[in-house]
Amino acid sequence: MINKTSFFILPAVLLASQVNLQAQVYSQTIVGYVNMPFDAGVNLFGNPLDNTGQLPSGMNDLATLFPVSGQASPPNGAQVALWNPATDAFGPSSTFNNGSWSLDLTLLPGTGAELITPTPFNNTFVGYADNHDGTLLTDPNSLPPPPVFSGPNGIYLRSDAAPLKDVGTDIFLNILGRLPNAGEQVTLLDAASQTYTTDTYLGNGAWDNVPTLQVGQAAFFNVGPVPEPSTLFAGLAGLAVVIAGCRRRL
């Protein structure tokens, strides 16, 4: 089954946000952590918490998101790469070796990424919770959606900027800012079994199979008209085949 993760609030720092050395300023930004397991092989994930300008490190780079801490450190040979929708391929990969990454890639909340690891490991993400639009979450009862997606049709690797589980049409609403159009698809990876599944929106609130996106999980979005099976895809499972074949590095 797909690994399940949860967002946990840190009560001791719930309302505290230190903005300079002279004063302690209190706001309702929410600090927490997410424990995320990574299975041996390919994993699709997103940064579930925001570090930009908030925590002492102030970064959303790999060195900050995957701290070197004994058994929790990524194994040597682990790789992270970002998807390029313009080329339908992953970009250059960053490799972890002897405590550092070869490329210190930046992963803002909402950005999807691929992590390939030779052995399983767990990572704890710590930071501030964001709204779906990438702004800091201050009211858990009112999370602004992201701007309506305005990019060209294509395949995108995205995650929810907010540390929440999304189901069905909420996946599109909370990540692309709109309801799915009939024929659009979500492709998920079950990292434990290393199998992809593609769920197609049929229209009128119906799916061929209702997708679920866990906290910190990324998915491929096939945005726009679905190509004919004779071109890039082979039926409803075709997107998974294309994605698996696009793990080639540029």
For the chain, how many structural domains are there in total? 1
- Rounded to whole angstroms, the Cα distance separating 33 from 35 reads 7
**Would you call 181 helix, strand, or coil by DSSP?**
coil
Q: Dihedral angle at the C-alpha atoms of 158, 105, 44, 154, nearest 10 degrees? A: 40
- Rounded to whole angstroms, the Cα distance separating 145 from 131 reads 7
Residue 214 domain-assigned?
yes
Residue 237 domain-assigned?
yes
DSSP H helix total and E strand total for the chain? 3, 18
Name the nearest CA neighbour of 189 among 40, 36, 42.
42
Q: Using the Cα atoms of residue 133, residue 33, residue 36 and residue 70 in order, give the sign of their dihedral.
A: positive
| Structural domain for 207, as ranges | 154-245
Residue 169 domain-assigned?
yes
Residue 19 domain-assigned?
no
CB 100 within 8 A of CB 63: yes
Residue 209 domain-assigned?
yes
Residue 192 domain-assigned?
yes
Per-residue pLDDT of the chain (250 residues; tens, 9 = 90+): 334 677 666 554 443 333 332 333 334 678 889 999 999 999 999 999 998 855 555 689 999 999 876 567 899 999 999 999 999 999 999 999 999 999 999 999 999 999 999 999 999 999 999 999 999 998 888 899 999 999 899 999 999 999 999 999 999 999 999 999 999 999 999 999 999 999 999 999 999 999 999 999 999 999 996 554 333 333 334 455 455 555 544 4
- Rounded to whole angstroms, the Cα distance separating 241 from 187 reads 10
